[in-house]
Amino acid sequence: MAGIKISGFVHSTKDVPGKWCLILFLAGCNFMCLHCYNWRVVLDIAGNIPIERVLEEIEKSPFLECVVISGGEPTIHEPEELIELVNTIKKVNPELKIRIDTNGSNPDVVEKLKPYVDGFAVDIKSPLENPEKWKFTTGVDIDPKVIIRTITLVDGMPLTLFRTVKYPWLSEEDIEKIKNFTSKLKSPWFLNPFYAVEDCPFNERLKE
């Protein structure tokens, strides 16, 4: 796991519906999303926590049901290192469920991880037929077909869910298109509220 840096962790009862979970934030991301609430993790300036500290937290949390590997973007790391991280966590508590949060941009990595985890949370940031809005939101060129492949791979897994932030630049028609797309999936979709992150440096491109 030498290439993986854990920036921090928090406990949550909301991220995985119905489960008490520990969320790990892995440093780094391949997106630069507007109003990113975790931009310090993305830029790797949020600190560093040794894996031993995480394992200690898991061991002393008797009610813990799930570990969420989030970011940043976990799938920018080598799949073998992520699998090692999952197996290391499971050695401490084999009963734990594991979910990975992803922007969906690396389906090849997701496919390799799939046998080792219980599901994925995939962000659907814009209508999947609108690459321009994807680029506006994320700051990078991304083919939505790549996101669709990830969605297809993970749909129906026990802990999989899909989510969209109700960004102010998404129209009601945009939201309706995403809703119609996800209505055909097995796993649930959630529309989450937008919260402005005024100090996010990625917002600078709005001034260009």
State the fold for domain 6-203.
TIM Barrel (3.20.20)
Domain assignments of the chain as residue spans, ordered by start? 6-203
What average pLDDT score do residues 182-197 get?
A: 97
Q: Is 76 exposed, middle or buried (CB count within 10 Å of its CB: 0-12, 13-18, 19+)? A: buried
d(CA 173, CA 90): 43
Q: Tell me if residue 2 falls in helix, strand or coil.
A: coil
Beta bridge partners of 70: 25
What confidence tier does 1 reach under pLDDT thresholds 50, 70, 90? low
Instruction: Say what the pLDDT of residue 207 is.
Output: 80
Residues 20-79 have pLDDT tens digits of 999 999 999 999 999 999 999 999 999 899 999 999 999 999 899 999 999 999 999 999
Q: With contact defined as beta carbons under 8 Å apart, do 87 and 56 qualify?
A: no
Total residues found in the chain within this entry: 208
What are the DSSP calls for 122-178, one per residue? EE--S-TT-HHHHHHHHSS---HHHHHHHHHHHTT-TT-EEEEE--TTS-HHHHHHH
Residues 103-151 have pLDDT tens digits of 999 999 999 999 999 999 999 999 999 999 999 999 999 999 999 999 9
